[in-house]
């Protein structure tokens, strides 16, 4: 499964946010395996389309698709040189698919800041510099090897060398590989380098509860937004402490609480959605059996691959994907009516599955 790693300086609210995630996830009756690894929190991806499908094609139960967050503790200044949990920390980041970078954006004299003052941009830069240094180290090692092979005019080596030459100065300046534009061929090479700064990032501004109704008025949030804009990264304003409180509430009280805070959706739900988007994920549905179920796939996946997410037999014996779009079901209100309108599609093995598709796979056993 794809996972987003939560990073940030000490005392910025990472554990608080992660607790909110595990508490929210603990309620998922359908996923008894959800809490095996204490550093992994599994949450349901909120999706109101599931309820609507279940209304029109009633089933015994609704099953949400899930998303995983990994708590990555322990970055401090000097981590790339082995300070703190240093190398272990970097290894943990290497294994995640996206980074959720928590930044302190609240004042509270009772909570010490590692640098003695609240400065979100400085905090972000501290962590990003460690990641750049670690990447520069990997790139330099790789460079020495590839340069030798490139002397033999080896095509692959020459192509990789060109990419390394493009990346190196950016890292030397403390920048991130994700800020560069690459062609598809270059992108493939970059992917194979497993660099930390090439992973997609979402900045989470951990704002004060008082700023929740109007985050735009928080100066800290504005500073983080300005920084993220330079990297074309996304930012989310969340109050981690409040999210933890919300996660503890019974379902029926949650909505009232959010309304009282002046927001329509919990920060956690926004975080899940944003992380999902960051990773290029989308949702398809199955219905008509005992359950109405949402499934996660990566945008660009073809029908047989997507079928394989349900069961490997579905992929091996794939024949067709009987597909209707959620929008059509929502509009025509029954599968029969969708069929009569000529909107049911029989898609073959080259079909790129779309977000919101409701699919019944036909396969040989």
Pairing of strands 318-325, 345-347: antiparallel
14 touches ligand GDP by CB under 6 A: yes
Say if residue 145 carries a ligand binding annotation.
Answer: no
Please choose, out of 11-19, 176-184, 260-268, 315-323, the segment that lies near ligand GDP by the rule CB under 6 A: 11-19
| Binding-site member from 67, 69, 106, 318 for ligand GDP (CB under 6 A) | 106
Please choose, out of 28-36, 44-52, 104-112, 325-333, the segment that lies near ligand GDP by the rule CB under 6 A: 104-112
11 touches ligand GDP by CB under 6 A: yes
Say if residue 155 carries a ligand binding annotation.
Answer: no
Say if residue 14 carries a ligand binding annotation.
Answer: yes
The residues in 188-217 that bind ligand GDP, with binding defined as CB under 6 A, are: 206, 208
Task: Report, in Å, the least distance between residue 291 CB and ligand GDP.
Answer: 36
| Binding-site member from 2, 3, 16, 291 for ligand GDP (CB under 6 A) | 16
Pairing of strands 345-347, 201-207: unpaired
49 touches ligand GDP by CB under 6 A: no
Dihedral angle of Cα 179, 181, 186, 187, to the nearest 10 degrees: 60
Rank residues 26 and 208 by Cβ distance to ligand GDP and give the closer one.
Answer: 208
The residues in 227-256 that bind ligand GDP, with binding defined as CB under 6 A, are: 239-241
Please choose, out of 14-22, 86-94, 113-121, 344-352, the segment that lies near ligand GDP by the rule CB under 6 A: 14-22
Long-range (24+ apart) CB contacts under 8 A made by 118-123 are 118/220, 120/205, 120/220, 120/223, 120/224, 120/227, 121/223, 121/224, 121/226, 121/227, 123/8, 123/9, 123/12
3-state helix, strand and coil shares in percent for the chain, rounded to the nearest 5: 50, 20, 30
Single out the residue of 248, 279, 313 nearest to residue 65, CA to CA: 279
CB 8 within 8 A of CB 127: yes
Say if residue 15 carries a ligand binding annotation.
Answer: yes
Distance CA 251, CA 268 (A): 14
Task: Report, in Å, the least distance between residue 84 CB and ligand GDP.
Answer: 12
Q: Which residues are annotated as a binding site for ATP?
A: 11-16
């Amino acid at each position: 499964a794809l996972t987003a790693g939560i990073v940030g300086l000490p005392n910025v609210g990472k554990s608080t946010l992660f607790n909110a995630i595990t508490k929210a996830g603990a309620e998922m009756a359908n996923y008894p395996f959800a809490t095996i690894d204490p550093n992994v929190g599994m949450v349901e991806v909120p999706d109101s389309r599931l309820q609507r499908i279940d209304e029109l094609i009633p089933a015994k139960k609704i099953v949400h698709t899930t998303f995983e967050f990994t708590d990555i503790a322990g970055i401090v200044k000097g981590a790339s040189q082995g300070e703190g949990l240093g190398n272990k920390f970097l290894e943990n980041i290497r294994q995640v698919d996206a980074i959720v970078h928590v930044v302190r954006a609240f004042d509270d004299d009772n909570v010490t800041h590692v640098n003695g003052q609240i400065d979100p941009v400085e905090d972000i830069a501290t962590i990003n510099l460690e990641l750049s240094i670690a990447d520069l180290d990997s790139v330099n090692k790789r460079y020495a090897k590839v340069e030798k092979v490139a002397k033999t005019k080896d095509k692959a080596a020459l192509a990789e060398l060109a990419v390394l030459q493009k990346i190196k100065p950016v890292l030397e300046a403390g920048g991130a590989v994700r800020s560069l534009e690459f062609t598809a061929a270059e992108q493939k090479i970059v992917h194979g380098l497993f660099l930390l700064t090439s992973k997609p990032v979402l900045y989470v501004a951990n704002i004060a509860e008082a700023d929740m109704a109007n985050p735009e008025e928080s100066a800290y949030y504005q500073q983080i937004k300005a920084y993220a804009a330079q990297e074309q990264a996304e930012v989310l304003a969340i109050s981690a402490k409040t999210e933890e409180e919300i996660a503890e509430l019974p379902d029926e009280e949650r909505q009232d609480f959010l309304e009282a805070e002046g927001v329509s959706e919990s920060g956690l739900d926004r975080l899940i959605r944003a992380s999902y988007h960051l990773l290029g994920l989308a949702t398809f549905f199955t219905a008509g059996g005992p359950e109405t179920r949402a499934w996660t796939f990566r945008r660009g996946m073809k029908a047989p691959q997507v079928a394989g997410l349900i069961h490997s037999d579905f992929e091996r014996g794939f024949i067709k994907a009987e597909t209707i779009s959620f929008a059509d079901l929502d509009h025509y209100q029954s599968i029969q009516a969708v069929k009569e309108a000529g909107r049911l599609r029989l898609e073959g093995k080259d079909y790129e599955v779309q977000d919101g598709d409701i699919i019944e796979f036909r396969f040989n056993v």
